[in-house]
Structure 1
Amino acid sequence: MRTPQVVVVMGVAGTGKTTIGPLLAARLGVPYAEGDDFHPPANIAKMSAGTPLDDADRWPWLDAIGHWAHGRAGLGGVVSSSALKRSYRDRLRAAAPGIVFVHLTGDRKLIEDRMGHRRGHFMPTALLDSQFATLQPLEPDEAGVAVDVSGGPEEITERAVRALAALPAAA
């Protein structure tokens, strides 16, 4: 299977980006980068306090992810990032043309339940509504696939691998 330059695993909090990202990277034979690690401490403090980030908070974070993705051009990689708005994905694409998005999607109740059971994460369930309000799904002209998050991690990863394999080759 061909490997896209960089795959961005995106979606609202609780969809499994941190779980699926490393599994997908292993299947593709490329390194994984955790998008949350690119947040400056101020962003983490803000989210931990239950305050949604605004665009001004997100730009440096997206730029850091874009810089990582640019450095992986031609080598491949997988990185997680909510990438909820088209403008965020455009910014990532500007830094690293050729990236492909895997949008993890699912039922709000399922995602809320998963968020409620995870431990040690700074994003509270209370911010899920703001995440869904901000979400702009992939548009037809964006390179990427939507993958349902029902089922176990291996099943979701397999769905993502199959969907990526079905994408047309980059021009």
Structure 2
Amino acid sequence: MRGKLFVISGPSGSGKSTICKELEKEENIKISISATTRPMRKGEEEGVNYYFLSNEEFQKRIKKKAFYEFASVFNHYYGTLKEKVDEMLDGGYNVILEIDVQGAMQIKRQNDKAILIFIMPPSEEELIERLTNRKTESDEQLKLRIATAKEEILFKNKYDYIVVNDDINRAANEIKDIINNN
């Protein structure tokens, strides 16, 4: 039996990646690996962290309509390869795409069977605190992340489900229930 396609989005600091790591422990769930044109970073592996493509190869695949969704972010392309996702779906796995709002809206337009889940922080204050405590961005980058997060939250009602991440285990279990009941 073919698996189902799920999309998980939410602003930076909402806990998407942590929740997806929890979900990936389930034997019937696979997390899709994105393709990118950005250079491989130290410690990353081809086919584990990303599929690393040249700009030329990415452009060829765009023309062949080989992506479920793609976007240009900070001068690099990122996208979800249909072939890789379809292999997992055909293998009976439920597949999760952890992508941004822009990509989620592309998926929604192409595939009315995809189930979209938006991860919400418990409050704006909590989100700002999470982003600030990461200490991974400059003050300017932090302001941009916060502004972007506020814009992304405006899309939450376009999703099938909204899950508030006030506790990682509770949020992950809520999403497991959504997956198992769809």
TM range (shorter): 0.5 to 0.7
State the distance in 2 between where 1:159 and 1:89 align.
Answer: 20
Task: Answer whether contact 1:4 1:100 (CA < 8 A) is retained.
Answer: no
**Aligned residue number for residue 80 of structure 1:** 98
Structure 2 residue matching 1:150: 3-state secondary structure: coil
TM-score calculated relative to the size of structure 2:
0.61
State the distance in 1 between where 2:164 and 2:170 align.
Answer: 10
**Aligned residue number for residue 142 of structure 2:** 125
**Cα deviation per residue 1:56-82 (whole Å; 9 max; x = unaligned)?**
625952xx2252434433332223112
- How big is the shift at 1:23? 0.9
The residue correspondences of 1:27-66 to structure 2 (distance < 5 A) are: 27=26, 29-33=28-32, 38-41=35-38, 57=72, 60-61=77-78, 64-65=79-80
Alignment size in residue pairs: 143
State the distance in 2 between where 1:157 and 1:128 align.
Answer: 24
Larger proportion of strand: 2
Give the 4+ runs in structure 1 shifted more than 6 A: none
CA RMSD of aligned residues (A): 3.5
Larger proportion of helix: 1
State the distance in 2 between where 1:7 and 1:121 align.
Answer: 29
Larger Rg: 2
The residue correspondences of 1:81-100 to structure 2 (distance < 5 A) are: 81-82=99-100, 84-85=101-102, 88-93=103-108, 98-100=113-115
Unaligned runs of at least 5 residues, structure 1: 43-54
TM-score calculated relative to the size of structure 1:
0.64
Unaligned runs of at least 5 residues, structure 2: 40-69
State the one-letter code of the partner of 2:7: V
